[in-house]
Amino acid sequence: MFDQFRVKSDTPIKLADFDANGKHYFEGEKSVAKNAVESLNERLEALQELMYAEGKRKLLVVLQGMDTSGKDSTIRYVFEGVNPQGVKVASFKVPTPIEMAHDYLWRVHQKTPGSGEITIFNRSHYEDVLVVRVHEFVPKEVWSKRYEHIQNFERMLTDEGTTILKFFLHVDKDEQKERLLERRDTPHKQWKFSTGDLKERALWSKYHEAYEDALNKTSTTCAPWYVIPANQKWYRNLVISTIMVETLESFDMKYPEAEEGVENIQFD
């Protein structure tokens, strides 16, 4: 249904070609979409429980996007109701001294999902070809090699049984401005506002260039990128929920066999 958002490895994309509103992809009303998301969420909850019980498969979900693109709210709404035993969220902020003493993928590998688990990366190993590149924390000769590292890393994970879904939450510059203003002007959201956000916003073009390179160079058959229209939060949730459910359903999972004769066990 949403294959048009998938970045094909043989067809380079430009973010300017993607509509961040996305409404023209969905013919129904907003209320219909919200009801659909609620149904998808119930289905996702059931599939996640089955995945945890079966204990065989692993799913890694990568969320990336510009500031205010909705990574936190995606986690909150798309994964509402799932069992926290089988779903984990990992965030990657400024590396600690210990992390800096290792290769840049060291801290990431430790957070990948185990059998039966879904792990959501709220930002990820891609920061090392995004913010690191934009701010020139390392020279080009260093970060330019990392696309191949990342491809090999993700290939290793998939070879070992992890399914990877990568979502770039696509908002346009006007929408980001509105969300930053809302943070500034809403008392209970002001804690999320930082003047540093404005400095990052000034680098919008450089970030888009870095994202386009990352999307084009690391979207593979085993670890595809999806460019998700994220100006409309309800539409963002609809697309991601649908892809999540379709992916889990494709696993054709089954509950483990019960202990023989369990139905005849008597209780005092």
Q: Tens digit of pLDDT for each residue in 207-247?
A: 999 999 999 999 999 999 999 999 999 999 999 999 999 99
Under the banding of pLDDT at 50, 70 and 90, the label for residue 199 is very high
Residue 263 reports pLDDT greater than 80 = no
Q: How many helices (H) and strands (E) does the chain have?
A: 11, 5
Which pLDDT score, from 0 to 100, does residue 35 have? 87
In tens, the pLDDT along 21-64 reads 876 556 667 778 788 889 999 999 999 999 999 999 999 999 99
Strand partners, 62: 121, 166
The pLDDT of residue 27 is 61
Torsion of CA 87, 80, 125, 60, to 10 degrees: 50
% of the chain beyond a pLDDT of 70 = 97
Query: What does the alpha-carbon distance between residue 107 and residue 125 come to, in Å, rounded to a whole number?
Result: 9
Q: What percent of the chain has pLDDT over 90?
A: 79
Class of domain 3-251: alpha beta
- Rounded to an integer, the average pLDDT of 251-259 is 89
Q: Is the pLDDT of residue 8 over 80?
A: yes
- Cα separation values, 207 from 63, 88, 97, 214, 233, Å: 16, 28, 26, 10, 22
Tell me, what's the pLDDT at 22? Answer: 76
Backbone angles phi, psi at 102, to 5 degrees: -115, 175
- φ, ψ for residue 182 (rounded to 5)? -65, -40
Check residue 24 and give its pLDDT: 57
Tens of pLDDT, residue by residue over 49-108, are: 999 999 999 999 999 999 999 999 999 999 988 888 899 999 998 899 999 999 999 999
- State mean pLDDT over 145-161: 98
Q: Give the model's pLDDT for residue 204.
A: 96
Average pLDDT, the chain: 92
